[in-house]
């Protein structure tokens, strides 16, 4: 494949439809050599390069300005080592495909977020995480990377070789190069037993430490305009899976969580003042228990489109911060038809990980697609600012490099690696200029 000829011009937009570009040069390389050729092409044209995953970021982090590299044809599993429990994959593989292949081989990722549509490289690049105070985000499961740099050379990196690049590129925001392959540390396949149950939010917050400590993967969704939270307690089990029946699964996960919820959101969008009444119907659902393979429990279908902002704050500030969000909603007159999601993770040492050097609580707010998110998100952001909150790199926020730098203890290491590997900012775009500086 040669990139002498001009590439196909294409438009692009993200999953939520709030980021789009009308005309960029699109490349779909199928090998590492072809990725290198795209980089050479961009250098020769003095273009900037943006590699995209599956477009599941809400921010403009994946917005290409000149050259767009789509790795959806570069998505194979290269090697599985069952003894060492590792897998090496091409960067464009989607987590859903990877999860199925791992399961067939008796292996699994240690923890996942709540969807699996993302690519492995896209998910680690923005610090994607799930929940579980003993577990970290996905980037911390990475043990080796191969990266195509801004001079088109390829470098291997691990915690012992090119370690600064390795540490930074695990949550690299796409700013340090094109990740070509990713090696992950896995665990043996496991089942999760699930309890989904509404709880009074005041009681839940009083016993928060207990819920976090006693469950491998604890999360909850506070339903605005109500005193209720929907909780999920997922625990590792050696018992055989007892999944929901097909019909119950379809009813709970497809009809209720997606179509019925979508209809409620659409109705609320046209009659916002009815949202508090509609919200009161949500927590009425009872307790549900089942168990299944971990990757099937962690990740769900998401059909209803929305905009999202999520902040990582010190875990011990969680109850106070959430109570401030609750008061804000009561006092402000915002009509909110999406629950506020709260999750927890262990710290890691990755410079731009949202959990870098601190045990974290994540508070995520959502707005139905097409509704004005700015006043609500800005008001919640000002609460999160008082806890040195770190925004998810792929979810909406209003920060810049000056406000972000003091919130990351190893911010300067990332900047010096960036200066070293991409001094001419081949991999920059406007979003990266805002959050990292020029
Ligand atoms: C419905 C929904 C649910 C979500 N759930 C969660 C969740 O549970 N937890 C969570 O933390 N986040 C969640 N997210 C956010 C999502 O995980 C992140 O935005 C993730 O980065 C998206 O991955 P992607 O493959 O779509 O990457 P994109 O959004 O396409 O790209 C993200 C970044 O990765 C970079 N990138 C992609 N490929 C490469 C590569 N090969 N080399 C270098 N850089 C690369 C891009 O340049 C860009 O900077 C959710 C998003 C949606 C829409």
Q: Which of 137, 173, 146 has its CA nearest to residue 52?
A: 173
Closest residue by Cα to atom 4, ligand 1, is 115
Residue 159: pLDDT band (50, 70, 90) is very high
- Tallying the residues shown for the chain, one arrives at 438
Q: pLDDT class for 301, splitting at 50, 70, 90?
A: confident
pLDDT reading at 7 higher than 80? no
pLDDT in tens, 17-32: 999 999 999 999 999 9
CATH of the domain spanning 77-188: 3.30.465.10
* Residue in 158, 139, 90, 83 with CA at minimum distance from that of residue 348: 139
Q: In what order do the strands lie in the sheet with 67-70?
A: 8-13, 20-27, 67-70, 49-52
Q: What is the mean pLDDT of residues 90-107?
A: 98
At 8, is the pLDDT very low, low, confident or very high (cuts 50, 70, 90)? confident
The mean-pLDDT minimum among 42-51, 181-190, 261-270 falls in: 261-270
pLDDT of residue 336: 86
Q: How high is the pLDDT of residue 277?
A: 65
Q: Which of 14, 128, 308, 367 to mutate to test the pocket of ligand 1 (most atoms within 8 A of CB)?
A: 128
Is it the case that residue 107 has pLDDT exceeding 60? Answer: yes
Instruction: Kindly give the number of the ligand 1 atom that is closest to the alpha carbon of 62.
Output: 48
Chain center to CA of 148:
23
**Distance between Cα 242 and ligand 1 center (Å):** 31
pLDDT of 265: 64
* Nearest-CA residue for atom 36 of ligand 1: 122
- The closest alpha carbon to 232, from 189, 276, 290, belongs to 290
Q: What confidence score (pLDDT) does residue 14 get?
A: 97
Q: Is the pLDDT score of 268 beyond 90?
A: no
pLDDT tens-digit series, residues 385-394: 999 999 999 9
Give the CATH number of domain 191-396; options: 3.40.30.10, 3.40.50.2000, 3.30.379.10, 3.40.462.10. Answer: 3.40.462.10
Mean pLDDT of 64-84: 97
What's the pLDDT at 310? 98
Average pLDDT over residues 147-151: 98
Pocket test for ligand 1, best of 394, 397, 418, 421 (most atoms within 8 A of CB): 394
Whether 283 has a pLDDT exceeding 60, the answer reads no
Of the residues 125, 169, 348, 392, which should be mutated to test ligand 1's pocket, given the most ligand atoms within 8 Å of the CB? 125
Ligand 1 atom closest to the Cα of residue 176 is: 43
Q: What is the pLDDT of residue 259?
A: 56
Q: What is the mean pLDDT of the chain?
A: 93
> Averaged over 206-228, what is the pLDDT?
95
- What is the tens place of the pLDDT at every residue in 394-408? 999 999 999 999 999
CA 424, 426, 430, 433 dihedral sign is: negative
With a cut of 90, say whether residue 286 has pLDDT above it. no
**Average pLDDT over every residue of 354-369:** 96
| Residue given tokens 């040069």 in the structure block | 25
CA dihedral 326, 332, 336, 340 (to 10 degrees): -30
Q: Which of 289, 295, 348, 340 is nearest to 318 (CA)?
A: 340
Task: Give residue limits of the domains in the chain.
Answer: 77-188, 191-396
132 has pLDDT over 70: yes
Distance from C-alpha of 324 to C-alpha of 353, rounded to nearest angstrom: 25
- Residue 252, pLDDT > 60, answer yes
Residue 220 pLDDT more than 90?
Answer: yes
Is pLDDT above 80 for 40? yes
Q: Identify the residue with better confidence: 4 or 168.
A: 168
Please name the residue whose Cα sits nearest to atom 13 of ligand 1: 128
CA dihedral 69→74→75→76, nearest 10 degrees, is -160
Please identify, by atom number, the ligand 1 atom nearest to the C-alpha of residue 71: 41
Q: Band of the pLDDT at 281, cuts 50, 70, 90?
A: low
Percent of the chain at pLDDT above 70?
Answer: 89
> What digits encode the pLDDT tens for the residues 413-437?
999 999 999 999 999 999 999 999 9
pLDDT band at 269 (very low <50, low <70, confident <90, very high): low
pTM above 0.85, yes or no: yes
The 8-class DSSP code of residue 255 comes to I
Region 178-195: mean pLDDT is: 98
List Cα–Cα distances, 106 to 11, 102, 115, 204, 347, in angstroms.
40, 6, 21, 36, 27
Cα dist from 338 to 100, 135, 229, 308, 403, whole Å: 30, 26, 12, 10, 28
Q: Stretch 355-381: mean pLDDT, rounded?
A: 96
What is the pLDDT, as a whole number, of residue 353? 98
Residue 113: what are its φ and ψ, rounded to 5°?
-80, -165
CA distance 194 to 1: 49
pLDDT band at residue 333 using 50, 70 and 90 as cut-offs: confident
pLDDT score, position 270: 65
Q: How far apart are CA 111 and CA 234, in angstroms?
A: 11
Residues with CB under 6 A from ligand 1: 15, 50-57, 61-62, 71, 91, 113-115, 118-119, 121-123, 125-126, 128-129, 173-174, 178-179, 302, 392, 394
Mutate to test the pocket of ligand 1, among 15, 52, 265 (most ligand atoms within 8 A of CB): 52
* Residue 382, pLDDT above cutoff 70: yes
Write down the pLDDT at residue 348. 98
Give bridge partners of residue 154 from the DSSP assignment: 148
Residue 245 has pLDDT above 90, yes or no: no
């Amino acid at each position: 494949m040669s990139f002498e000829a001009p590439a196909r011009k294409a438009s692009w937009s993200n999953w939520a439809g709030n980021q789009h570009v009308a005309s960029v040069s699109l490349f779909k390389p199928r090998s590492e050599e072809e990725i290198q050729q795209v980089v050479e092409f961009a250098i020769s044209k003095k273009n900037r390069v943006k590699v995209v995953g599956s477009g599941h970021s809400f921010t403009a982090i994946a917005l290409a300005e000149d050259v767009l590299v789509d790795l959806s044809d570069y998505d194979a599993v290269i090697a599985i080592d069952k003894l060492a429990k590792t897998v090496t994959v091409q960067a464009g593989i989607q987590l859903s495909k990877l999860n199925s292949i791992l399961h067939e081989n008796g292996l699994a990722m240690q923890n996942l977020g709540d969807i699996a549509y993302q690519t492995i490289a896209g998910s680690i690049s923005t610090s994607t995480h799930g929940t579980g105070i003993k577990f970290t985000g996905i980037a911390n499961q990475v043990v080796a990377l191969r990266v195509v740099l801004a001079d088109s050379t390829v470098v291997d990196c691990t915690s012992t070789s090119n370690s600064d690049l390795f540490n930074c590129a695990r949550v690299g925001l796409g700013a340090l190069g094109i990740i070509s392959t990713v090696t992950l540390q896995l665990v043996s396949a496991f089942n999760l037993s699930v309890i989904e149950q509404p709880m009074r939010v005041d009681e839940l917050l009083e016993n928060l430490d207990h819920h976090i400590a006693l469950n491998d993967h604890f999360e909850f969704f506070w339903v605005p305009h109500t005193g209720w939270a929907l909780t999920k307690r997922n625990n590792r089990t050696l018992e055989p899976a007892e999944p929901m029946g097909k019909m119950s699964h379809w009813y709970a996960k497809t009809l209720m969580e997606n179509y019925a919820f979508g209809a409620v959101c659409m109705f609320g969008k046209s009659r916002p003042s009815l949202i508090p009444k509609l919200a009161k119907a949500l927590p009425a659902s009872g307790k549900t228990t089942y168990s299944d393979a971990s990757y099937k429990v962690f990740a769900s279908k998401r059909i209803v489109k929305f905009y999202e902002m999520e902040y990582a704050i010190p875990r011990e500030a969680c109850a106070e911060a959430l109570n401030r969000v609750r008061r804000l909603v009561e006092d402000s007159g915002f009509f909110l038809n999406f629950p506020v999601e709260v999750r927890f993770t262990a710290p890691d040492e990755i410079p731009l990980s949202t959990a870098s050097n601190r045990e974290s609580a994540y508070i995520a707010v959502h707005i139905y697609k097409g509704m004005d998110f700015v006043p609500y998100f800005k008001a919640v952001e000002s609460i999160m600012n008082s806890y040195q909150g770190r925004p998810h790199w792929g979810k909406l926020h209003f920060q810049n490099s000056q406000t972000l730098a003091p919130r990351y203890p190893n911010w300067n290491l990332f900047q010096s690696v960036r200066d070293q590997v991409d001094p001419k900012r081949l991999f920059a775009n406007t979003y990266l200029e805002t959050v990292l500086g020029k």
